[in-house]
Amino acid sequence: MCGIVGYVGRSEAAPILLDGLRRLEYRGYDSAGVAIVDGDRVETRKCAGRIADLGKLMTAEPPAGTYGISHTRWATHGKPTDQNAHPHFDQSGKLALVHNGVIENYQALREDLQREGEHNFTSDTDTEVLAHLIGKHFEASGSNGNANAKSRLVTAVRTALQQVIGTYGIALVHKDIPDFIVGARRGSPLVLGVGKEENFLASDVSAIVAYTRDAVYLNDFDIVAVEREKFEISSLAGEGGHYQVSKVEFTDEDIKKGDYPHYMLKEIYEQPGSVRDAMRGRLSAEECTAKLGGLEMTTAELRAVDRIVLTGCGTALHAGRIGEYIIEQLAGLPVEIEFSSEFRHRNTPMTGDTLVFAISQSGETADTLGALRESRRKGYRTLGICNNVASTIARESDGGVYMHAGPEIGVAATKSFTSQVTIMSLIGLLFGRMRHLSTSEGSEVIDALEALPAQIEETLKLTDHVKEIAKKYARSPGVLFFGRQFNYPVALEGALKLKEITYIFAEGHPSAELKHGIIALVRPEVPCVFIAPDDAVFSKNLNNMEQVKARKGPIIAVTSGGCAKRLEGIADDVITVPSAPDFVMPVLSVIPLQLLAYHMAVELGLDVDKPRNLAKSVTVE
C-alpha cells in the first residue's frame, strides 16, 4: 500500500512529513515526494528510490512552510521514475495532489481533458489526471476571496470524484489557499489525526502516532477539509459526515524495533504475547468453552449456523485453511475456504444459515473487503477477524473477533498468522461445545491453548539451530515444503515466507501429492522441508521422506515428541518442537519456518523488512 502523510499546523512541515514517511516505509514503495506550501510557492521534492534519497534532496534544498502533503508510491500506472513520483499538479501548477489507489477510467478522463486543448500531462500516472480534473473544476468556479476558495476547492474535489471510477485515498493542497488540506477516501484508508493547533492526514495511523493518539478513521466517500484548529467532514453527496474521535490503542514505542535488527524478528519473538493476548478473557474454564462476545450473535443464532465460509488472501487464507481443519474437527461443521479475490466474482452456493468470516490483519485488504461487502449484499451474516479495531472491515462487518496482536510492521506476516490460527481454535471450541464436545473434551482444548505461549517460548529457543540450517541452504535454487492435514497449510505458509523475503522459488504441497508429479523436482540442490509432527499421519510423512532420500534430495524435518529418533538417518536436519494436539500444532510448527526464511534472507544480505515488489497491505486489486 502506498503511503500518505499530510500536516497543517504551526511547526515546520518538512521534518514531520519526512518522519511520517519513514514510519510508513515498511509498507513498500519505489518513489517518494513532498509538496509544501511556502507563501506563494509550492515547494516540491520527489524522486524514485528510497526515502533516504528524498531526505538528501530536502537537506540540500530545505522546503519551508507549515502545511503540506507527502507520499510513498508503489508503481501502478507508469514506471517508478522521478517524473511519475507523487505529488502531481493540475494544469495551473497551483494544486498538488497525492493519491493511493487506482483510477480505472483515467484514460477516458485524460482523453476528454486533452480534447479541451488546455491540458498537458507530464507523467504516465492516473493520479495526474485526477489532479487536472479537480483543478479544472476549481478554476471554472471563479474566485471570490479566501473563505469562499476553501468551499470551492471542496466542491471541486466532490465534483471530480463523482466522475471517477476506482479507488482512492487522496490529500491535496493549493498555493492560493493557506493552511488548508483536503482529503477523501474510497476503498483506500485515510485517517485524520487531531492535534492541538495542528492536524494530520495519513494512510495509516502509525505515521502520526508520535504526534497524536486522537484519530478519526474516515469512511468510504468521506471528504475532509483540514485546517490548523478545525476540520469538517462531509460526504461525496454533500451531506454532513458522521465521525467519532478514537484513541489509538498503541504508542510510538510499540512500533519501534527496540534491540532487534529487523521488525520481522521482533514480531516472531512477540508471538508468546500475541497468542496469549488473542485468548485473553476468552476462555471459560467453568463452562469449558470460548467466550466471543464480539460475534454479536445469540446462542440460538450460533446454534443455527449450518456452514461456515472463511475468506482471505495470502497468509490470512492459510490461517483460514487451518481453521477449516480445526472447526470441522472440533465442531463437526462443514467449512469452505474461499480466495477473497474469487469470492465475489463467482456464485458460491450458500444456505441461509451460512456464516462468513473475512480474515485480514490490516482490515483494509481490498479483495477481502470486497468479499465482505458481497457477502453482506447477499444477506449473509458476515464477521471480521482483524487486528485493527478501527479498520474498514471491522466497521463494516456484522461483528467479529479482534486479534489484539499489536502493530505488525514487518511486510512478511508472522504474529498475525499465529493469532489468526489461535482465534480459529477459539471459534472451533465455541461451536464444538454447542454441538458434540463434552465438558472434559472442552477442558482439554482449553488446557492445550493455555499451554501454547510457554511452548512458543520453548520453540523460539531453536533459533540458533535454525540459523545454522539456514546458512546451509541459503543459496539453494528452490525449496519444497510438505505437510499433511493440519500442517499442509503450514507448508503453504512456510513457502510463502521464503518467497517473500529471500526471493527463492518455493512451493507448498500436501505430502501425499509427492508422487503425483512433484517428485520430478527432487534433486540434491533442492531441499525438502517436511512438517511431520508426532501425529496419526507421521508414518505416511516418513514414507514420503524415504522417497525423497532415495533420490538424493536433502530433507529438513520439523517434528515433535519422540519422533526425532525415528528420523535419524533419513532427515539431514531435524527441528523438534514441543508436543501438542493436532489443532494447535500449526502455531508451533510454523515458527521454525518463519525463522528459517528470516535467517536465509539475512544470510543472503537481503532487506528483510522491505522485500522487493511487496506492500504490507494490498489495498488495490
* Residue 131 · residue 95 · CB < 8 Å: yes
Residue 504: name the closest of 479, 530, 472, 529 by CA: 479
Edge to edge, the sheet with strand 335-339 lists: 335-339, 307-312, 354-360, 381-386, 400-402
Q: Name residue 509's beta-bridge partners.
A: 482
Q: Give the cell for residue 351.
A: 444456505
How far apart CA 493 and CA 12 sit, in angstroms, is 44
Q: What end-to-end distance do the CA atoms of the chain give, in Å?
A: 11
Q: Is the backbone of residue 339 left (phi > 0), alpha (psi -120 to 50) or beta?
A: beta
The 10 Å Cβ neighbour count of residue 149 is 19
Residue 159: name the closest of 84, 100, 238, 230 by CA: 238
Residue 583: name the closest of 476, 470, 431 by CA: 431
Radius of gyration of the chain (CA): 26
DSSP sequence for 20-36: HHHHTGGG--SEEEEEE
How far apart CA 62 and CA 556 sit, in angstroms, is 53
Catalytic residue among 46, 136, 610, 616: 616
296: Cα within 13 Å, side-chain hemisphere: 11
Q: Is 256 helix (H, G, I), strand (E, B) or coil?
A: coil
How far apart CA 179 and CA 530 sit, in angstroms, is 59
Catalytic residue among 2, 288, 313, 528: 2
Alpha-carbon 232 to chain mean position: 29
Q: Is 313 a catalytic residue?
A: no
How far apart CA 615 and CA 153 sit, in angstroms, is 32
Residue 187: name the closest of 407, 377, 367 by CA: 367
How far apart CA 73 and CA 4 sit, in angstroms, is 9
Residue 556: name the closest of 510, 506, 516, 593 by CA: 593
What is the 8-class DSSP label of residue 240? Answer: B
Alpha-carbon 10 to chain mean position: 33
Q: Is 528 a catalytic residue?
A: no
Q: Is 514 helix (H, G, I), strand (E, B) or coil?
A: coil
* Residue 575 · residue 559 · CB < 8 Å: yes
Return all residues near 252 (Cβ < 8 A) that are at least 6 apart: 209, 210
Residue 382: name the closest of 322, 305, 318, 326 by CA: 305
Q: 60-70 in b/e burial notation, b at 16+ Cβ within 10 A? A: eeebebbbbbb
Return all residues near 248 (Cβ < 8 A) that are at least 6 apart: 205, 209, 213, 214, 215
How far apart CA 15 and CA 62 sit, in angstroms, is 10
Q: Name residue 33's beta-bridge partners.
A: 46, 71
The 10 Å Cβ neighbour count of residue 386 is 28
Residue 101: name the closest of 81, 130, 121, 79 by CA: 130
How far apart CA 332 and CA 325 sit, in angstroms, is 10
Give catalytic residues, as residue numbers.
2, 616
